[in-house]
């Protein structure tokens, strides 16, 4: 696992904890799975909520919606992730420490072919313009 992947993973986990706390304060307790076995078998948590930190959307005007990943750039193949991971996820929360945007996973899958594709050494996905996203989401202002 390369250092950039580890850093992004840790940043994402910290944001996931932050969102979990915020949801709990709203009366939505979220039990997060920490082991790889449970995450691969069931999903990120019992409630089926995927939580993603996007630290760049305010400056870029786009959400990065991941569709595939690999832990090391040297690996040949990507594996389905994010909205294409086969698990219990039905809600997809993405944002930063100011605002969380809530989408249905199915909405994102339906619109994934309409927007610009992006590939990095460890991730594939698409850029969803915030303007477009505002047409079909729920916003939690923190």
**Average pLDDT score, the chain:** 87
Flag whether pLDDT at 139 surpasses 80: no
What is the pTM for the complete model shown?
0.85
Contact 90, 43 (CB under 8 A): no
Flag whether pLDDT at 26 surpasses 80: yes
Q: Is 134 exposed, middle or buried (0-12, 13-18, 19+ CB in 10 A)?
A: exposed
Cα distances (angstroms) measured from residue 24 to each of 3, 13, 19, 37, 57: 31, 16, 8, 25, 25
Residue-wise pLDDT for 39-84, tens only, equals 666 677 888 899 999 999 999 999 999 999 988 888 989 999 889 9
Highest mean pLDDT among 19-23, 57-61, 131-135: 57-61
Q: Which residues pair with 19 in a beta bridge?
A: none
Higher-pLDDT residue of 27, 139: 27
Cα distances (angstroms) measured from residue 55 to each of 44, 58, 63, 100: 20, 8, 9, 12
Domains of the chain by start residue, with CATH: 3-141 (3.40.210)
Give the pLDDT confidence score for residue 41 in this predicted structure. 64
C-alpha to C-alpha distance for 120 and 56, rounded to whole angstroms: 15
């Amino acid at each position: 696992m390369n250092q950039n992947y580890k850093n992004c993973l840790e940043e994402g986990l910290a944001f996931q904890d932050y969102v979990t706390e915020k949801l709990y304060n709203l009366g939505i307790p979220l039990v997060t799975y920490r082991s790889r076995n449970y995450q691969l078998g069931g999903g990120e948590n019992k409630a089926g909520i995927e939580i993603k930190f996007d630290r760049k959307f305010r400056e870029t005007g786009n959400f990065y919606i991941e569709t595939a990943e690999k832990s090391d750039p040297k690996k040949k193949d990507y594996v389905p992730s994010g909205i294409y991971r086969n698990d219990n996820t039905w809600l997809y929360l993405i944002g930063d420490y100011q605002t969380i945007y809530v989408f249905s996973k199915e909405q994102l899958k339906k619109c994934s072919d309409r927007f610009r594709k992006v590939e990095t050494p460890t991730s594939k996905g698409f850029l969803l313009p915030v303007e477009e996203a505002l047409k079909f989401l729920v916003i939690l202002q923190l």
